Amino acid sequence: MLTRRWVMFCVLALAVLCGSGGISYWVYHAQRDELVSDAGHELTDATVAFTQALNSVFEPALTLGGTVADSGIRHAPPNQWPTLFFAIATGPVRQFEQMNGAFLGFPDGRFLHVQDLEVAGPKRATGGDRTSRGIYRRIIDTPAINPRGRWQVYDPQTGRAKMSPRVTQAYDPRTRNWYRQVAADGRAHWTDVYQFASSRRLGVTYAQPIFNPDGSLWAVLGVDLSLGSLSQTLLTTSSALAQAADIVFATDLADSVLGHPELASDTTEIRSSTSEFLERYRDPTSFESLAPRQLKEGPPLQMVEAEGRSYLTTKADLDPARAMPMQIYLARDLEQVLAAARAVVYRNVLFAFVAVVVFGVVASYAVKLQVEMALRRQAEAELIEARDIAEAATQAKSTFLATMSHEIRTPMNGVMSMAELLGLTRLDGEQRRMARIIIDSATALLTIINDILDFSKIEAGKLEIEAVEFSLMSVVGGSAELLAPRAEAKGLDLVVHNDPSLIDLRLGDPTRLRQILLNLGGNAVKFTDEGRIDIRVRRIEDVPEATDSAERLRFEVTDTGIGLNEEQRARLFQAFVQADSSTSRKYGGTGLGLSICQRLTELMGGSIGVDSEPGAGSTFWFELPLAAVGDAPPRYPDDLSAASVALVGLSDRVAEVAELYLRATGIERIDRFAAAGEAAGERTLWILRCGAGRLAPEDLGGIEGRIAFLGYRGELADLSPDLKSRASALLTVPVSRNGLWRAVAIGLGLRPAEEIEVQQRDDMAFAPPPVEEARAAGALVLVAEDNETNQVVVRQMLGRMGFACEIAENGAVALERLSEASGYGLLLTDVNMPVMDGFELARAVRAREGEDADRLPIVALTADALAGTEERCAEAGMDGYLTKPIDSRKLGALLAGHLPQGLALRRQVEQAAAVDEEAAAEAAPAIDWDPEIFDPATLTETFGALDEEAKELIRGASAAWPGRIFEIEAGLAAGDVKRARDAAHSLKGAALSVGAKRLGRIAADLQDYLDDGDLDMAGIMAELLPSTLEEFQELLPKIMAL
């Protein structure tokens, strides 16, 4: 019986196999024509994608031609043509990989050329970054005298061009084919394909005429395009479309191959002779030769037999209005098209066989499995019910925590706001202390609530991790700066050690990284009474799973605090659990912080842990995979290796880190001194640790060289005027790598010294002469300034110094005044103005001055004391610049130097007090508020007293500030960094000019973060502006009552 069943089973199996095979083969033949038709449609659709991709290779040349023609450059003076053309063409030459260069040839033989000699090379070898390479520029502006012209190398990082020793043969564009073809018929042309001499790669030149308004030829614009990009585009598009085509290549109208994916490789064979490499495609039996000949006639989709195979082939023409005239051919191997159908036949037969075998096995266990499945269904139902109950409980807990946290935040914010407002009223010492306790307690409670909210988000799975570019140094350094005030209050050293060999730009979530660092750093400060806090970042070596693009970094926060035993360490990362109950009673907290840190590191693919011993401090560490963006660590742009540096009074650890940063720039001579009294001799830079009782002016007697003081912000603010006057730079704790490098550059004279505010005031007891009297003497000052607040401040300051002035609201008005009237002895101009900015104004004034005309002194007024500002002012023709808020001493020295004829016109004001530090303090009204909110001394220097005119200035300025804050918030929300930066710049200048120090400094910090590209910190600073403005507005009635 069993044998009979097996025989029947085998016969049935064979019948099933034969039947499935026959059906599959019949289906195969039925689908063959359909598969071929589908492949043809796919080829036709693919030609559209390839045509669009190839058009994009050539379109930049046409776009650049239109840009140059429409720019109006031909209307500018000839001596400005090189600058204007390079400004237009340099960006596209650097941006578009296929663009080898751009040039202008003129009928008189002049020639301008922007060239990237590396265009044919593998530009993506450094991650696709073309911004770090130099650009060659050739200028032939006197062809009769110097037909070779001169070469410049332009550095896009600094924006500067320097002469190149490169020597080439004489060049006359009028003898070149691209020029002669265009000049002959006045139409745009594409040249024949030729081999570039610089790179030995194939390329073409697009030439386009540019006519003067009278119809004469002004110049011929040429753009060199490398056809290597054409092949790369074919390769990239083929990879993207995958199965759309097996063969793809491009030819000119004469059927010569111009682009092929094989040409995208950078092999020695191709570099040595591109033309010989292309000979393989000219073989009459090759597919690349047969396909163009066969498709010249007949339908656009045909079957081509070549090299023993059949290819379904089609072609398409590029749009001559958007690209070079050429054709593209796409083909599918018929074997590949039908391979899938054949595979289906084989697979169906195999599946039928397997099905028969499996059926026999399964049938024998069917009854047994039915019983087991019934039991399993019952168990699964019980598990599902238990899971649903657990999920409901977890969701209810998270919802309860989130709801309660939000409910508590609303009244708590009210408590904090009212406590802050209470602190601004008249309170005695005990009442003020109690108000401070309210604020501190509410702040601590809000921290707990924020932890609960984060924890509930993580529990609910609603916390998302970003992957954006950020600066590692900015995030770590910014976190340490936020911890610095708390460390300073406890007298702790704070050290940040960023490994100089690390690449700075990373890909990850900077917000959550900062949250972890602040939590661990805050705990370190909380549990440490003396010693130091050390934050370190380093690369983890020899980790198998790490790659070049996502290496693992280790972050360590080390303290010298109370330490932990093994039992306490085991409980640390549990939610709502601290080391022991006494910790919570003594230091406060919920025990959620470390649990949140653990969850965040796990969400980012990392791990966290602690190494600690009781009484020996702790090291909390976490490791994260953070992909590097770029391939080189940051380096200072200047050579600092010749510097000699002395570290005075720094702790061993701080000195060790500072020395590490210094040696990373090549500095070899670094000395340490325990105290200033031991320091003597000459160095490029002396870095001295300042603080209470650390330094006195006499301690610096034996020191020769530039001095930088290192300390917390409060310590630096408390430095005496004598010490500040000796400083070239101030370094804040924790010492930053960039700040340290800049201080050394200042010591070497490579960067200007920082402006250190010293409380000394100049004599401003003068009255100005009448405007016409000053004009007659050539001593009238013209001020170009668009900000009304700054207009009043500058007018008042000049008036009190005894100089008459006129105000112009922008550069265009100032230029008109200079054209219509004489008698101006000095031009003070803001840099950022509508209609015409300060740089444009300066260039226009210098352009109008003839060689024999008197030179009008021009000085810039700017709120940006950035590197390069002085160079930009000098390039525009200015004689110097002043930073805002304006220093009266520097302004007085400038006026004495540039406007000596005005000194005799000043009129002494009787009974005027000398405006030194003590007199200014006496002139300032007595106040009972925080001078950081509003400092009357700022305006008493300008107005002499806080009179009605000064108060009107305050009212007018503060009325515009809400609009500026709205612009900042709107710009940040829309991702418009320029809009937010301009509004912050305007708010900073106006607030500091009238004495709203806190508001002005927050706006200044916000602008700095925007300039650095740190949008996270910029957002944090922007959140402080409304409350800071509100405290100023609350104080405004008191100010007006003075």
Dihedral sign of CA atoms 153, 154, 157, 159 in order: positive
Tell me the pTM.
0.40
Among the residue ranges 700-714, 742-756, 837-851, the one predicted with the least confidence is 742-756
Most confident of the following: 164-168, 501-505, 699-703: 501-505
723 vs 548: which has the higher pLDDT: 723
pLDDT for position 216: 92
Residue 1017 has pLDDT above 60, yes or no: yes
Between CA 511 and CA 494 the distance in angstroms is: 22
Give the ranges where 899-1014 is alpha helix by DSSP (H).
917-923, 937-943, 948-974, 977-994, 997-1012
Lowest mean pLDDT among 29-38, 438-447, 682-691: 438-447
pLDDT, residue 851, reads 62
- Per-residue pLDDT band for 623 (boundaries 50, 70, 90) equals very high
Banded pLDDT at 275 (limits 50, 70, 90): low
pLDDT tens figures, 457-509:
676 666 778 888 999 998 998 888 888 888 888 889 899 998 899 999 999 99
132 pLDDT exceeds 50?
A: no
Give CATH 3.30.565.10 domain extents, the chain. Answer: 464-628
The answer to whether 2 and 315 are in contact (CB under 8 A) is no
Average of per-residue pLDDT values in the chain: 79
Residues of the chain with CATH 3.40.50.2300: 644-747, 766-911
Mean pLDDT, rounded, for 695-718: 81
The Cα 734–Cα 712 span in angstroms is: 8
CATH number, domain 464-628, options 3.30.70.1290, 3.40.50.300, 1.10.287.3510, 3.30.565.10: 3.30.565.10
CATH number 1.10.645.10 given to 948-1041: no
The CATH 3.30.450.20 portion of the chain extends over 58-227
Residue 192 pLDDT greater than 50, yes or no? yes
Q: Can you give the pLDDT at residue 401?
A: 60
Burial state string for 927-942 with b = 16 or more CB within 10 A and e = fewer than 16:
bebeeebbbbbbbbbb
In three-state form (DSSP H/G/I as H, E/B as E, the rest C), the secondary structure along 895-920 is: HHHHCHHHHHHCEECCCCCCCCHHHH
State the pLDDT at residue 459.
Answer: 67
Q: What is the pLDDT of residues 920-973, one digit of tens each?
A: 444 445 566 777 788 877 776 666 667 777 777 788 778 888 988 999 999 999
Can you give the pLDDT at residue 761? 42
| Cα distance between residue 207 and residue 218, in whole Å | 13
Where is pLDDT greater, at 560 or 944?
A: 560
Distance CA 49, CA 380 (A): 52
Phi–psi pair at 154, nearest 5 degrees: -100, 125
Return the SS3 of 326: coil
Q: What is the pLDDT of residues 342-360, one digit of tens each?
A: 676 666 657 666 666 666 6
Check residue 724 and give its pLDDT: 80
Question: Regarding predicted confidence, which is higher, 859 or 458?
Answer: 859
**Inter-residue contact 293 to 255 (CB < 8 Å):** yes
Q: Is the pLDDT of residue 120 over 50?
A: no
Bigger pLDDT: 679 or 2? 679
CATH class of 644-747: alpha beta
Bigger pLDDT: 411 vs 740: 740
CA distance 112 to 154: 14
Q: What is the DSSP letter of 638?
A: S
Mean pLDDT throughout 659-674?
90
Classified by CATH at the fold level, domain 58-227 comes out as Beta-Lactamase (3.30.450)
| Mean per-residue pLDDT, 73-99 | 89
Cβ atoms within 10 A of the Cβ of 244, count?
19
What pLDDT does 358 receive? 67
Q: For residues 50 and 248, what is the distance between their CA atoms, to the nearest angstrom?
A: 9
- The pLDDT > 70 percentage for the chain reads 75
In this prediction, residue 622 has a pLDDT band, given cuts at 50, 70 and 90, of very high
CATH number of 230-337: 3.30.450
Please compute the mean of the pLDDT values over residues 228-233 and round it to a whole number.
74
Distance, CA of 729 to CA of 752 (rounded, Å): 10
Over 50: is that where the pLDDT of 917 sits? no
Query: So what's the pLDDT on residue 517?
Result: 93
Is 834 within 8 Å of 930 (Cβ atoms)? no
For residues 574 and 148, which has the higher predicted lDDT (pLDDT)? 148
Q: Where residue 390 falls among pLDDT bands split at 50, 70, 90?
A: confident
Three-state SS across 398-418?
Answer: HHHHHHHHHHHHHHHHHHHHH
Span between the terminal Cα atoms of the chain, in Å? 118
Q: How far apart are CA 920 and CA 909, in angstroms?
A: 17
Structure token pair of residue 152: 């410049």
801-830: per-residue pLDDT in tens? Answer: 889 999 999 999 999 999 888 899 999 998
Query: Using 50, 70 and 90 to split pLDDT, how confident is the model at 175?
Result: very high
Query: Between 324 and 975, whose confidence is greater?
Result: 975
What per-residue confidence (pLDDT) applies to 270? 54
Mean pLDDT of 308-330: 80
pLDDT for position 1002: 87
Q: What is the pLDDT of residue 607?
A: 93
CA distances from 389 to 379, 381, 386, 404 (A): 16, 12, 5, 22
- Partners of 538 in beta bridges: 554
Rg of the chain over Cα atoms, rounded to whole angstroms, equals: 38
Q: Is there a cis peptide before residue 734, judged by omega within 30 degrees of 0?
A: yes
Q: Distances in Å between the alpha carbon of 33 and those of 334, 340, 341?
A: 11, 14, 11
Domain with CATH 1.20.120.160 in the chain: 948-1041
Which alpha helices (H) appear in 605-671, and where do they start and end? 652-663
Q: Please, which pLDDT band fits residue 647 given cuts at 50, 70 and 90?
A: very high
Q: What CATH number does the domain located at 766-911 have?
A: 3.40.50.2300
Q: Over 70: is that where the pLDDT of 395 sits?
A: no
Which DSSP helix (H) or strand (E) runs through 926? none
pLDDT at 269: 53
269 vs 285: which has the higher pLDDT: 285
* Contact by Cβ (8 Å): 55, 199: no
